[in-house]
Amino acid sequence: MTVLAIDQGTSGTKAIVVDPSDGVVGIAEVPVHPVYLGDGGVEQDPQELLESVLAAGHQALSAAGRSVDVISLANQGETVLAWDPATGRPLSQAVVWQDGRAAGICAELESQRELIEGRTGLALEAYFSAPKLAWLRRNVTNEGVVTTTDAWLLRQLTGEFVTDVTTASRSLVLDLDRRTWDPELLELFALGNEPLPRIVACDEVIGESSAFGAPIPVGGQVVDQQAALFAQGCLEAGQAKCTFGTGAFLLVNTGETGPRSGNGLTTSVAWTLRDQTAYCLDGQVFTVASAVRWLTDVGLISAPTDLDPLSADGAGDVLCIPALAGLAAPWWRGDARATFTGVGLATTRGNLVASVLQGIAAQIAELVAVVEQDTGEPLQLLRVDGGLTRSKALMQATADLCQVPIEVYSSPHATALGAAAMGRLAIDRSLSVGDAVGTAGISGRYQPQWGADRAADFLNRWHDVAGRNLEEKQ
């Protein structure tokens, strides 16, 4: 069964054609261009998203030179828009997951925090989709429907009005244990009268698409992070992956139950496959490739390939909290901003670059510590994927500060491969979940080179600076 898997991400859309015996036989990538507004807004042009999906799909298919049996779609998770259900025409810009403008809507619901967080497993934060949907209704339009981008793209491809259960679990209006829309929460966000997409499993065939020629079934729909967790073969409780993309996203499989984190992580549906649901705990670093793009924009590096040579001499006395778009789990301070401390006349460009990489790794180490607290088990191994795993300096800093061995996934297409495996499960009911994923190849390993004391000392100092930074903002 050959699959066209499309990974519609924040900075681009990737499409791959995967054949079970020949592997990836066609690849195409089309960039998309988020616009960073001064007020914390981050928007995308929905038409650009759709065109990128169509262009990447067509290009991958023509590179592969063969037909496919199913089309799969991984999506950004929390990016939303308003659109006309009759025509599919967008009625707003897409409001991107990094957009902080719905923070006021969350603040208004402060007294309901416990109820919302307990029922959804999430944090009452503008990052998730329902506050953004409410923001669109209040500030942009009362017309049409408001949904996450997957529901709109799937409508464009198939004519169906659906979202998958993993995407719904990133909304703040899903009852996580029942996996149904929650009327009480919808009322709280003033979304009670909105038509909502039907929630489907990740391995459901939702319809057919003629967007790429002859009609092809569409099945295998999932949030991009969950797709990568699946591709990395994290099928057992306790197995974890971190994807280094626009942000970094650490997910740990928790098995058939969705335990609520007492420590600031969030809980989502990892997938529903073969009528079985798996859950995951997840923590986020909002800016990783975004931080590297910022380093490029301000002229500290000319391209991501400069990261390793420039940071070779280390950060010196410089400590960086790279909170360029706020701090996510476990702090949940969207208002935080980046700081550099310890900068002196002898500080070099390389010290600043190294401090940003260390700051990213420190945030991941904070997440690992919370995962260990929540699960009561030390993490044995962290599997990683995503473009920035090419930075050996960043991977080594992550191994050093997390004090965990790291294995780098051998393919640069983890997310698309995860969606493709779900697509195969959708059209081949005899295929098992384990056989659909196969064995993850490893292209690199990193062992911690720092001792535990050195890592703890660094993290204590880093944590103090982060804490002072947050106090000053209060």
Ligand X SMILES: O=P(O)(O)OC[C@H](O)CO
Strand order in the sheet with 3-8: 23-31, 12-19, 3-8, 70-75, 216-223, 205-209
Among 3, 4, 6, 10, binds ligand X (CB under 6 A): 10
To the nearest whole angstrom, how small is the minimum distance from the Cβ of residue 32 to ligand X? 10
Q: Residues for the chain: how many in total?
A: 474
What track of x and - describes contact with ligand X for positions 298 through 317 (by CB under 6 A)? Answer: --------------------
To the nearest whole angstrom, how small is the minimum distance from the Cβ of residue 247 to ligand X? 6
The CB-side HSE value for 456 (13 A sphere, CA atoms) comes to 3
* Tokens representing residue 468 in the block: 């002072």
| Contact positions with ligand X (CB under 6 A) in 19-78 | 76-78
Q: CA 278, CA 474: separation in Å to the nearest integer?
A: 38
Contact partners, residue 363, CB within 8 Å, separation at least 6: 248, 285, 322, 327
Among 83, 97, 128, 212, binds ligand X (CB under 6 A): 97
Among 225, 239, 267, 391, binds ligand X (CB under 6 A): 225
To the nearest whole angstrom, how small is the minimum distance from the Cβ of residue 350 to ligand X? 27
Of 80, 62, 88, give the one whose Cα is nearest residue 131. Answer: 80
Look-up of token digits 């670059």: 353
Size of the site for ligand X (CB under 6 A): 12
Q: How many other CB atoms are found less than 10 A from the CB of residue 354?
A: 25
Residue span binding ligand X (CB under 6 A) among the ranges 171-179, 244-252, 443-451, 458-466: 244-252
| 125 near ligand X (CB under 6 A) | no
Residue span binding ligand X (CB under 6 A) among the ranges 52-60, 136-144, 242-250, 429-437: 242-250
| Contact positions with ligand X (CB under 6 A) in 245-274 | 245-247, 249
To the nearest whole angstrom, how small is the minimum distance from the Cβ of residue 224 to ligand X? 5
Q: CA 57, CA 211: separation in Å to the nearest integer?
A: 9
Residue span binding ligand X (CB under 6 A) among the ranges 39-47, 243-251, 265-273, 453-461: 243-251
- As to burial, measured by CB atoms within 10 angstroms (0-12 exposed, 13-18 middle, 19+ buried), residue 373 is middle
Return phi, psi of residue 212, to 5°: -115, 20
| 418 near ligand X (CB under 6 A) | no
To the nearest whole angstrom, how small is the minimum distance from the Cβ of residue 123 to ligand X? 13
User: 285 pairs with which residues across the strands?
Assistant: 248
Return residues touching ligand X (CB under 6 A): 9-10, 76-78, 97, 224-225, 245-247, 249
